[in-house]
Amino acid sequence: MSDINISAVVLLNEAVRSVLDGTQSAEQAVEHAQEQWAIRPVQPAPEQVTIAVAAPTPEVQHEGITTIRYLNGIGDMDAVRRLAQTFNETHPDIRVEIKDQDVNGGPQTLRDRAATMDCFPLFGTPPTEDADVLLDLQPLIDADPTFELGDYPAPVLAPYREGNTLRGLPNSVFLRFIAYNPAAFDQAGIAHPDTSWTFPDVLDTARRLTSGSGDTRHYGITGATPDDIALFLDRYGARVEQGSGSSARPNFTDPTVRAALESYITTLQTASPNARVQGYARTTQSDDSFTLFVKGRVGNVLHVRTRYGPFT
């Protein structure tokens, strides 16, 4: 899934909470979020502070040397610098220059980074409309017999492939999955999930698994975090913003965004023990949904996430 602007997610969290609290309808909530985006304050530039640091290794310009500009930002950045220094010492005809990300310069688009850097990190997969600015890595891989492309599972490389062209390499992958309680399915007489299930199948089954009342009430699904909102937006193909970087604009009133949020809210109201989004507002209420799952009173746990990698 493409990056989602953090400010946009915060406003959508507020919108969801107001609908759950019954203070606004879904339509009113997203329109209010759109208005709040338009009047949000611009963060002032941080105060400049002078900090004493170790002097960097002087950069010496040499004619006839190929320079590779590498934007640091993933993993052990000191280790990357040491690796580049070792590489430069053993390859006199190539120089790798490590550049730090400008945290004060605001968000950069893929095109912005590609215009000034040769290698750089990118969270998520490259947007289709900007993929043309990325060069093909496959010829470089083919020319290096020591590079084991087989270390990367084919499904992990698929988002970066276009025919025989390879536009990037993943550092790590975050996988989403939904855990289910077999006992809850058996008790309700519902067949266990299989690979043919779609996201609507999960939501429909969650409502069928919900029954009872009070201390004996069983729920079909649990999961009320900002990541779960992002999951619904992704499954519906909804984009909460248009454009990217400094040109990003809110898209909260788009019918697809509204449909995703209404589906999420309906799921919480009809099939979940969660009454509000967890981890967003400060509250003294505890989230006992996982305890209910362990006790067999919840059929599914929504949006369990795990990391696969790093591959390097």
CA 5 – CA 184 distance, rounded (Å): 37
pLDDT at 3 over 50: no
Task: Write down the pLDDT at residue 103.
Answer: 63
The two tokens of residue 227 are: 């990541």
CATH classification code of 6-37+175-308: 3.40.190.10
Helix ranges (H only) for 57-196 are: 77-90, 110-116, 138-142, 154-157, 182-188
Q: DSSP 3-state assignment of 198?
A: coil
Per-residue pLDDT tens digits for 42-57: 556 556 666 666 555 5
| Long-range Cβ contacts of 163-168 (<8 Å, 24+ apart) | 164/138, 165/136, 165/138, 166/136, 166/137, 166/138, 166/141, 167/126, 167/131, 167/134, 167/135, 167/136, 167/137, 168/122, 168/125, 168/126, 168/134, 168/137
Q: How much is the mean pLDDT over the chain?
A: 80
Among 87-91, 169-173, 198-202, 280-284, the range scoring the smallest mean pLDDT is 280-284
Please, where in the chain does CATH 3.40.190.10 lie? 6-37+175-308
Per-residue pLDDT tens digits for 59-92: 555 667 899 999 887 667 788 889 999 999 999 9
When pLDDT is cut at 50, 70 and 90, the band that residue 176 belongs to is: confident
Task: Check: CB of residue 259 under 8 Å from CB of residue 238.
Answer: yes
Per-residue pLDDT tens digits for 259-278: 999 999 999 888 888 877 76
Q: Per-residue pLDDT averaged across 180-200, rounded?
A: 89
Distances (CA, A) of 119 to 135, 139, 288: 10, 16, 45
Backbone angles phi, psi at 193, to 5 degrees: -60, 150
Nearest to residue 247, comparing CAs of 41, 133, 109, 130?
Answer: 109
Per-residue pLDDT tens digits for 213-231: 888 888 888 877 778 888 8
pTM for the complete prediction?
0.57
